[in-house]
Chains A and B, each alone.
Chain A
Amino acid sequence: MKHSLDDSKPIYLQIKEQLEDAIVEKRLQTGDRVPSTNEFASFYKINPATAAKGINELVQEDILFKRRGVGMFVKEDARQKLVANRKKTFYENYILPLKNEAEILDISEEELFHMLKGENL
């Protein structure tokens, strides 16, 4: 959890990503209650409608579900879904920048491979 949000990125996305991280990292597990819109709003001093938007997208994506009058909870299989999604973007988000930077620094593919294996050069 972050103590403040970044004003240059969509707020609802940051709320959404935080919840996703918490689920992937198992800090939130199946059946756990997630903070409410108002709790998010007053913690980060953000517009409740914006916080709601982030949470609602997770409901639509079947990650959270709503129990009337009680709150939002983590759905079964939520983590598997998120992990599967993240694997798809892993290459783009981590490998590609890694290769780009390696290229700039003239690190050969072989060297890179050794680094990945944790071997010191």
Chain B
Amino acid sequence: MERQMKGLFYFYTMNIKFSMTVFWSILLGTTIVSILLSMMIVNPTYSMYFSFSIMVYIYSAIIGFHSVKDVLPYAVKVGATRKNIFLSMGIYFLGLALSQALILSVTHRIITSAIKYLDIQTYVLLDLASWLIDDSWLNQILIHTAIIFLLMIVMYIIGLLFYKYGLVGGGIVMGMTVLFMLVGIATGWLSDLFNSILSIIDRMFFIEMIGVTIVIYTLTWLLVRKLTLVR
């Protein structure tokens, strides 16, 4: 691989390692505690619901937003070209989404089978993937990857807008998005769109979703092309 790209990936990996470790330790810790708590529920008509994937989604969205300030200035300082920053960040997000999806589905499998093995009736681990389409390994990983990747990129773009245009610029874009969605809800076409998406959902849909996210990502070139330090 090209020297500068290697350097950037080395930087991203070392930088995210600690945060990832902390996140997964806390997540697994709370899951185990919550399972133990659920075992103390005496009345079997009550049960405890816990969603693992939502936590990962939220965390990933934060990572996407935070990456702008956390990573980009240092990439500029060390002398990376804007083109290499653009390429490496895209690959980094996709790679991160894929590894998050992998860890997510593996731990999900392990915990589900543990619950089954221990015959705990009072604990339900919710997962978006198994709810949308059949939960084969591949589907699960695909769905998670697509969703995490999209969240990261959208939040990364918002982060970039804030970085580049300050609170005002970022605020205007956010405001317009919210307004756009409100109009969508009011006129009802947003829910129509959502329904029609749900009706056509299949494996292909998520592959396309990744493709669309990549296309959206290419738009960041406009913001990264003249990336500078903010003083």
Q: Do chains A and B touch in the complex (CB under 8 A)?
A: no
Q: Which B residues lie at the A interface, using CB under 8 A?
A: none
